[in-house]
Amino acid sequence: MKIFRRTALVAALLGVTAVLSPTAAQAAAPPACGASAAPTAPGPAAAGASADPSAVRDPEQARLADPRTAAFADRAALGEFVRRFPAALCSARDAAEAGRILDAWGESLWQAAVNRAQGRRPGGDLAAGDDRPLYWTRLRMTVQLADWNPGFPVDRSALRTRFEDASRGLTTNDFRGTPGVRRLFVSGFDPFGLDTELRRANPSGSAVLQLNGRRLTLADGTPVEIRAVVLPVRYADFDAGIVERAYRPRLAAGPRGADMITSISQGYPGLFTLEAWAGRARSADPYPDNADALSGGTYAHPVTAPGLGPGAEFLRTTLPTDAMTAVQSPYPVLLNTEVSEIPAGQDSPVDRADGPTPGSRAVAGGGGGYLSNEVAYRSNRLRTELSPRLPGGHLHTPVLTGLPTDPKQLTGPAFEQNESAIAAEVLEVLRHSVPAVP
């Protein structure tokens, strides 16, 4: 199976239309197979495609109706993934093979995005570090998966999860385990808030694409290997355990486990913040996720996220914050100790500048009550369970600004300079994350 997957990955990286040879793929494809080659608008598949009549576009996929979304893949030289993915799907002869194909194409897309961000895959006129092509290419391919009409039964939800995990780095983030090299595991996020501004990027996603797989030198001269994933901005995926799937393997003991973890997301205008506290609650409504779903929790009435194991209402960062906040240029880096809580014996929330009080109920951590706070809580709750001495926490980047005023322009000099500056400072902050040697 490993040999097959390795071969499949190479095939997809080389741009082969199917995992099998073209002749074998043509012979193996079911006659009724169909998948739309260019998904755009919600509703029925493109003419000529034998789409599954039950396929429905979710709110995130429905944004593909905007023609600007197709340009992100094409202007980053990722368009071949969209054009050739349907033929690869149609080469599957059974559900097991379909799963392997989705693993291979997901991993290939992830590696292509990483290679592009790190200057190893030229093509297109968007900046190399732009995270948006990965997001919009993946989303278009999920529509093609939904439209695919194989000649055998499949679990579409499970197949999409496999593709999402693979295309987000979850299946290919093992550390090399080189003696003497520290190991740092980080996560970023997809773009979000797209109904307000479709062109938005997420500097946390850009930063981790540029960092994944690299070996760097910490401020004390110690070499470190960084592995990364990009997480979705969707409550349902968090409910289904994507954070735990991403972090659990890296929290195992041994040479392939991390020495430190940190989640990263976009936060406040003009500054970086290291969040001192992560809260156990969701309280961000009425602000929706990328699927237009709400959390069910508000500031006045927070809720606990589904699927959480036992843990304190608040978890404190164990990152070396004094060293990391030594970085102050071009953006200041601050330690944020603010939380929102319902004090013990009370019913109403209050904001506190100096952390939670004993016995209180969480309303929001320093990162609020949205998914940036939740990834910090979930990953560090798991850390306290599996590897409590490991440093861990959350870093918020500045808000990425600088998009051109003309909505037809997807990028511009100020936007690209700001994204590059934020990513460079993420690297510098992480270089200063020098924990004590265990």
What's the CA gap between 89 and 170, in Å, rounded?
21
How does pLDDT run along the chain (438 residues), one tens digit per residue?
333 333 333 343 333 333 333 333 333 333 347 656 555 433 333 322 334 434 569 999 999 999 999 999 999 999 999 999 999 999 999 999 999 999 999 999 999 999 999 999 999 999 999 999 999 999 999 999 999 999 999 999 999 999 999 999 999 999 999 999 999 999 999 999 999 999 999 999 999 999 999 999 999 999 999 999 999 999 999 999 999 999 999 999 888 899 999 999 999 999 999 999 999 999 999 999 999 999 999 999 999 988 898 999 999 999 999 999 999 999 999 999 999 999 999 999 999 999 999 999 999 999 899 999 999 999 999 999 999 999 999 999 999 999 999 999 999 999 999 999 999 999 999 999 976 444
Task: Spell out the residues 6+ positions from residue 7 whose beta carbon is closer than 8 angstroms to its own.
Answer: 19
114, 78 contact by CB (below 8 A): no
Termini Cα distance of the chain: 37
Q: Answer whether 0.85 is exceeded by the pTM.
A: yes
Short-list 92, 231, 219, CA closest to 169? 231
Residue with tokens 């939800």: 157
Angle at alpha carbon of residue 336, lines to 295 and 303, rounded to 5°: 20
Strands 182-189 and 260-266: parallel
